[in-house]
Amino acid sequence: MSIGRTHWAIPEGFIPGESLAGAERPLISHEAACILNAGAAVAHVAITLYFVHRDPVGPYRLKVPAERTLHLRFNELADPEPVPRDTDYASLIVSDVPIVVQHSRLDSRSAQFALVSTMAFGA
């Protein structure tokens, strides 16, 4: 069943450069775009990153198979370049078929981690 939008924006991007000492993957500070493709066709997704003082970077390209979810960590984007830490950015996510995008962050700079989550803006 197809649900969603083809354009999604996340204005508040920020990956903390620090994490709890010794944290394993689930508790390392990270930022994610959780994507649901509930439709019958693969989604071809292009992500562009926007910054305060320099030109946009991208597109980062990825696929989400039909009837699958992908919890993409911005920390792990590498091509065309990694996402800088401790830096304000924003992202625009464009798909060729409808998807739904939710933004989340786990911040473990503190000894106790903090979480945020919100639906991205879809258009």
Q: In the complex, which residues of this chain contact its own copies (CB under 8 A)?
A: 1, 3-4, 7, 9-14, 26-27, 32, 34-38, 48, 50-53, 55-56, 67-71, 86, 88-90, 92, 94, 100-105, 107, 109-123
Dist CA 52 CA 88 (whole Å): 7
Dist CA 99 CA 63 (whole Å): 11
Nearer to its own copies, 71 or 82 (CB): 71
- The closest of 7, 13, 14, 30 to 113, measured between CA atoms, is 30
Beta carbon of residue 20, minimum distance to its own copies (angstroms, whole number)? 9
**43 token code pair:** 């989604």
Nearer to its own copies, 75 or 113 (CB): 113
Nearer to its own copies, 78 or 111 (CB): 111
**114 token code pair:** 């903090």
Nearer to its own copies, 78 or 92 (CB): 92
Beta carbon of residue 22, minimum distance to its own copies (angstroms, whole number)? 14
Beta carbon of residue 32, minimum distance to its own copies (angstroms, whole number)? 7
DSSP, residue by residue, 72-118: EEGGG--SS-PPPTT--EEEEEEEEEEEEEEEEEEE-SSSS-EEEEE
